[in-house]
């Protein structure tokens, strides 16, 4: 199904913002973004995005439990509806990530769970529920997941508390990476294999924040061209940032240098 393509308009330059004092920290490389391009999906509830196992397409998680597959030109190639475990009223998938070994992991918001996508994309396997302190069924739970090194996952909790957890797929142990004291609506997290840092999107401030794994902020980037940035991933091979917008029902890509 071919989707419409549109370029975002406006003369506003996008790149490093002034939330870290207006300057790029010493020793860090600044990011300059190109002109954003958007693909209309006509589907609501877009929550998270990652490259597929082969790195030649996109996987998108939705609020309703779907995992969508897209090519890199914005055309949908498959829709996979995940089974509804325990007869619950809703499976709210809010995060998706690809690990170095090609495994795809997801997080469920309301029940604070981590899942692994089956190889055929027709179902998923529960790995673990989150820490007891995060177990409540409101709509402010696990909002993003990122695959780090050696089987380590970073799981971002939207609020109550604003916190980034760690989960080891090897030891099955949960830990706390850091609290996010500056967030207004923590919406996704991504682990950058290029330099071992994390990226976090905030759906309310429309900022993309790069951090060290201890939570130290490196930079903030203005991404106000995305009205509600719910999902983010970096495509280093093509020098692209990918986003999904839950307000406009769009996929965005923007080049960086």
Domain locations along the chain: 5-255
pLDDT reported for residue 33: 96
Evaluate whether 148 touches 156 at the Cβ level (below 8 Å): no
Structure tokens at 12: 């506003």
This model's pTM is above 0.85? yes
Cross-strand bridge partners of residue 125: 116
- Please, which pLDDT band fits residue 84 given cuts at 50, 70 and 90? confident
- Please, which pLDDT band fits residue 134 given cuts at 50, 70 and 90? low
Residue 26 in this model has a pLDDT that exceeds 70:
no
Residue 215 in this model has a pLDDT that exceeds 80:
yes
- Please, which pLDDT band fits residue 135 given cuts at 50, 70 and 90? low
What is the largest distance, in Å, between two alpha-carbon atoms of the chain?
53
Q: What is the mean pLDDT of the chain?
A: 88
pLDDT reported for residue 231: 98
- Quote the CATH superfamily of domain 5-255: TolB, C-terminal domain (2.120.10.30)
SS3 call for 133: helix
Mean pLDDT of all residues in 115-123: 96
CA distance 142 to 83: 19
pLDDT reported for residue 21: 34
pLDDT tens across 166-196, in order?
999 999 999 999 999 898 999 999 999 999 9
Q: How many CB atoms lie within 10 A of CB 248?
A: 16
């Amino acid at each position: 199904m071919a989707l419409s393509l549109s370029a975002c308009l406006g003369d506003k330059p996008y790149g490093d913002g002034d939330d870290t004092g207006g300057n790029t920290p010493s020793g860090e490389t600044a990011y300059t973004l190109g002109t954003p391009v958007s693909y209309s999906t006509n589907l609501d509830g877009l929550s998270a995005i990652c490259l597929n196992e082969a790195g030649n397409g996109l996987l998108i998680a939705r609020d309703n439990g779907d995992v969508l597959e897209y090519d890199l030109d914005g055309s949908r190639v498959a829709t996979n509806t995940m089974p509804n475990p325990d007869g619950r009223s809703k499976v709210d998938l809010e995060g998706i990530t690809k690990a170095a070994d090609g495994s795809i992991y997801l997080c469920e918001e309301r029940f604070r769970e981590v899942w692994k996508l089956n190889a055929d994309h027709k179902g998923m396997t529960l790995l673990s529920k989150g820490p007891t302190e995060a177990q409540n069924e409101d709509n402010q739970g696990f909002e993003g997941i990122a695959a780090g090194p050696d089987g380590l996952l970073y799981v971002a909790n939207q609020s109550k508390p604003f916190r980034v957890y760690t989960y080891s797929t090897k030891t099955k142990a949960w830990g706390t990476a850091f609290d996010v004291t500056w967030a207004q609506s923590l919406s996704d997290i991504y682990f950058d294999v290029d330099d071992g840092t994390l990226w976090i999107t905030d759906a309310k401030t429309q900022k993309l924040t790069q951090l060290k794994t201890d939570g130290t902020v490196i930079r903030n980037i203005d991404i106000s061209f995305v009205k509600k940035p719910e999902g983010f991933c970096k495509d280093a091979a093509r020098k692209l940032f990918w986003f999904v917008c839950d307000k406009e029902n769009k996929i965005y890509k923007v080049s960086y240098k």
